[in-house]
Structure 1
């Protein structure tokens, strides 16, 4: 029997998750994420454990979803309008192929919030991967203890 192993080292993945979480908390704080002082304080509370390098508490799930919602609303509020831009969809011997698409244009703050959203999504994906590996280890231990 051949087992293919493409397993990421859980220690490295957990360390990456901790670092990403800290970056998210720092960036959200520096951008004063939220539409008002109440939202800013709420975001700070929801991300407090990330600042303390504790990104795996299950109690934070709802808070993370709420922070993502606040982030999405903040990004939408920074949209200045839209413009038509050429989007490349392919390339061959005759050159690039594409189409013109209406693309939203954001303020500088909007661009920074979009970067934060990408960083936050990377954190959430990394966190999910660690929690999936931990769950897999628990399943294996349950099987072996039968």
Structure 2
């Protein structure tokens, strides 16, 4: 079965070139390409930006091929931002995005975040469906890097929070 071949694990520095390639391929496929330079600097320094900061970055492989990825970056002690969710365009609609999202949500709970925020462009209908079917709530729309975006959030469960 397809899903049995997928290995989901934490980012390793040896993944850097593959992460960059998947980011560019998936972004270009949906017509979302930010400017070169600062817009994607986080992908050149995943260890520091995501992992050392108290978040995480997850990749999925089939054999040696990196097929999906996503990161969590702390906003504050209670909130993490979901970033860089990408799935190989040739393998979309097979549950890879949902697996990455589930792994990142589980990590967010372990890291004691209470909610996750994210944004996606209005043209990324597949991403919107994934987030909305996974319990994310649209909060507002706006502009980022010249693109119309939708901002989402989701309250996480699984906390031993005596306040509620």
TM-score by length of 1: 0.32
Structure with more of its chain in helix, by fraction: 1
Structure with more of its chain in strand, by fraction: 2
Question: Which fold has the larger relative contact order, with Cα–Cα distance below 8 Å and residues 6 or more apart in sequence?
Answer: 1
